[in-house]
Amino acid sequence: MTLIDGKQTAKEIKEELKVKVAKLKAQDHPVPHLAAILVGNDGGSVTYVNAKVKACAYVGMESTLITYDDQVMEKTLLDKIEELNNDDNISGFIVQLPLPKHIDERKITLAISPSKDVDGFHPENVGRMSLGLPAFVSATPNGILELLKRHEIPTEGKDCVVIGRSSIVGTPMSILLSRNTPTGNATVTLVHSRTKKLEEICKRADIIIAAIGKPHFVKAEMVKEGAVVIDVGTTRVEDNTKKSGFKLYGDVDFETVSKKVSFISPVPGGVGPMTIASLLLNTYKACVQSSDKLSIPQK
């Protein structure tokens, strides 16, 4: 069994980006600048956003964190989004989800300019991705493709099962793996809470990608000998023995499943760091694309 080390792979990507960003700076080119809007103080969201800001600093990108309390009005957020859409200093931005119930997430997503939508959640980017056109691809599925590619795990002709059909992970993942591309060309089955015989379907898979948020849902008996298993799940479970007060659980029962598979990604240290690395890649791309549009010369 080979451990798919997302932390190490993300570090490699960040080192590559560091060099590229330094090159932009040396050319007096605008530096990629990520803005993040954080609403409320949900522990997970605060941790993720802080990690994104820290990662920007590591690769030499700029970042701006905009925070609101959880009573913020939808209109205030929409006005801020409009401001960021029109701010030439901002390459791209994200609105950390989930948002409080009184805010319509769909409306917020639609308000973000597709050219600055580095999370890849805007329908225009989702549509373009589905058609194989240039797009910002949602950071988590893009990070998973990068993990597969950099671990030289072939997908062509493989039977792949994606568990979970969320619009930010499962659905785009299933589309990306089924496209006619070097990291696609798989035969993909997307399963969810209404799927019958889910265990049987999983058992046939060469590659399983679990994104449901149910700790240890994927057990050894659901997995074929030698399969590749990618665990996206991150569920916080209270644990007083930990300094943080919680332990992070994946969707896969790592202990038993790892004994049967050829490759497996752990939680933590698997997909999570790759999501951040992908966001940085998208921000770099947004910066270069917007400069191209403004005809800023690159030496």
Catalytic residues: 52, 96, 119
Cβ proximity to ligand NAP: between 24 and 163 the closer is 163
Q: Which stretch binds ligand NAP (CB under 6 A): 31-39, 144-152, 166-174, 255-263?
A: 166-174
Cβ proximity to ligand NAP: between 114 and 164 the closer is 164
Q: Minimum distance between the CB of residue 153 and ligand NAP, rounded to whole angstroms?
A: 18
The neighbouring-strand residues paired with 247 are 237
Q: Which stretch binds ligand NAP (CB under 6 A): 62-70, 112-120, 193-201, 285-293?
A: 193-201
What φ, ψ does residue 252 adopt, rounded to 5°?
Answer: -115, 140
Q: Which stretch binds ligand NAP (CB under 6 A): 27-35, 75-83, 104-112, 191-199?
A: 191-199
Residue 193 touches ligand NAP, criterion: CB under 6 A: yes
User: What would the two tokens of residue 235 be?
Assistant: 């569920």
Residue 9 touches ligand NAP, criterion: CB under 6 A: no
Residue 169 touches ligand NAP, criterion: CB under 6 A: yes
Touching ligand NAP, residues 207-246 (CB under 6 A): 211-214, 232-235
Touching ligand NAP, residues 80-119 (CB under 6 A): none
Q: Minimum distance between the CB of residue 230 and ligand NAP, rounded to whole angstroms?
A: 10
Q: Minimum distance between the CB of residue 166 and ligand NAP, rounded to whole angstroms?
A: 3
Cβ proximity to ligand NAP: between 164 and 266 the closer is 164
Residue 275 touches ligand NAP, criterion: CB under 6 A: yes
- CA distances 178 to 137, 175, 223, 289, Å, are 15, 5, 21, 27
Residue 18 touches ligand NAP, criterion: CB under 6 A: no
Residue 272 touches ligand NAP, criterion: CB under 6 A: yes
For residues 118 and 136, the answer to whether their CB atoms sit within 8 Å is yes
User: What would the two tokens of residue 189 be?
Assistant: 């089955």
Q: Minimum distance between the CB of residue 28 and ligand NAP, rounded to whole angstroms?
A: 34
Cβ proximity to ligand NAP: between 205 and 232 the closer is 232
Cβ proximity to ligand NAP: between 55 and 288 the closer is 55
Instruction: Please give the residue ranges that form the binding site for ligand NAP (CB under 6 A).
Output: 140, 163-166, 168-170, 191-194, 198, 211-214, 232-235, 271-272, 275
